[in-house]
Chains A and B, each alone.
Chain A
Amino acid sequence: MASIQGLAKIYGMLLHLFPQDFQNEFKQEMVDVFTANLADAAKTGTTLVVRACFFELWDLPVNLLVEHLSALRKGNIMETFSYEFSRSRAVLMAALGMMVGWVLINLEGQFIHILIQPFPFLALDLLQTIVYSLPVVLCGLMLGVAAGVGRRAFLRIGVWTAAGGILGHLVTFPIRMFNTALVAWAATHPQWESVAVGMLPFLAVMCTYGFFNGAGLGFAFGGWRACKKFALIDLAAYAVGSLAGNYTSLITPRLVYLGYYLPAYITWSVIGALAGGILGWFFGKEKQPRPYTAIQTGNV
């Protein structure tokens, strides 16, 4: 009997892997039924107890996956949360998050090699892809702070903004490759250099980033409709931010401070602050989403 109680305890611990809502509703019942099953099997012999345990373990991963996917589909991985932004707070927080993210990415060139040392199995490109989702993730989390959402909503924001950021970086890969080739070509064709290393290629990359980052943020906060809306808003926000950032780099003195090239940091701060600020402005206008209801209708 003591061994059955021990096994039930282990099973109870495994059930922590289910989404929180599911645990709240069924965990205790499941442990009770599992205990009853084992007690039943024990009457016949130890082999059946072992078999019952293995049977549960065998079935658990699939059901875990099904439950997490279902929670994700309904938007309650973390539950749809109601949010209300004061516009000024949203602007401030989004701008701050995005700005810090882009400045950190600029530091990335110096630190990424240190970061990768404990993870030799990670390709540098892969790590960069993850690092480049930092501005949108930080922006999303700061918006979450502005809205005062709960712990689980932060998880939802983190997941969707990271997905948007990573996707954005992957999609810009061919554009960045094309730009690199263009710059190499311009080195041998000086008359075209101003075009090749000019604003347009940079703008193309940044707007693509903006589109996917906005989509991730929109989905995190309001589902598909907001996803489409904020993809376009963030595309425009990045265009404005990039143009302004590029302009400031032209007028900033070419200073190097402690080994850091100052105009680059100022440029990226302006890009982040402006793009985030514009995005925050529109988030401030968002209406509250409808709350999640457990019982769906019609989906038979």
Chain B
Amino acid sequence: MKVAQPEEFEPLSETTLYILVSLAPAPLHGYAIAKEVRLLSEERVILSVSTLYTTLKRMLENGWIERVGEDPQPDEAGRPRKTYALTERGQRLLAAEKSRLRSLLAMVQKRTVGEEK
């Protein structure tokens, strides 16, 4: 997989990053994404439904995620749930963001190495 250079992408918002990370292992439906984000952020980031879907829309438009069909397990009303998955572009974006955050952390550690002692 081609890893994009960090400068190809602008830094992501926290919400977008959490959604990308939550979709990294496997495709999820909307409700599961919200729960996963909550879990990953240790209850710090709680997404309202409108924030979740406006962000998902933006990510779909940018081609970072895609709809990959329906969850075989229907919701309480018996309706099948649409699931979302990372696209190749989304995976490249996540890799780039990881690399950007890693270099940022390295820079902070380098500069504050004396303070930690």
Contacts and interface: CB of A to CB of B under 8 A. Distances in A.
Contacts of B52: 33
Interface string A21-39: 0100110111011111101
Contact of A33 (B30, B54, B93): B30
Contacts of A29: 30, 53, 81-82
At the interface, is chain A mostly helix, strand, loop or mixed?
helix
Contacts of B109: none
A297 interface: yes
B49 A34 contact: yes
B62 interface: yes
Nearest to A14: B50
B26 to A, nearest CB: 18
Interface in A56-105: 56, 58-60, 63-64, 66-67, 70
B21 to A, nearest CB: 17
B63 to A, nearest CB: 6
Q: How large is the interface on A (under 10, 10 to 19, 20 to 34, 35 or more residues)?
A: 20 to 34
Contacts, number: 74
A37 B51 CA distance: 14
Nearest to A56: B48
B46 A55 contact: yes
B71 to A, nearest CB: 11
Given A59-B51, A300-B10, A32 B31 contact: yes
B116 interface: no
Contacts of A66: 54
B36 to A, nearest CB: 13
A29 B58 CA distance: 16
A37 B49 contact: yes
B63 A295 contact: yes
Interface in B38-53: 46, 48-53
B62 A33 contact: no
B115 interface: no
A300 B62 contact: yes
Q: Which of B50, B53, B58, B81 has the most CB of A within 10 A?
A: B50
B57 A25 contact: yes
Given A60-B48, A300-B9, A37 B34 contact: yes
A258 interface: no
A44 interface: no
6 A-B pairs closest in CB distance? A59-B48, A63-B50, A26-B53, A33-B31, A33-B30, A36-B31
7 contacts: A22-B57, A26-B56, A30-B49, A33-B52, A36-B31, A58-B48, A295-B60
Given A22-B54, A300-B10, 4 more contacts: A32-B75, A39-B76, A63-B50, A295-B63
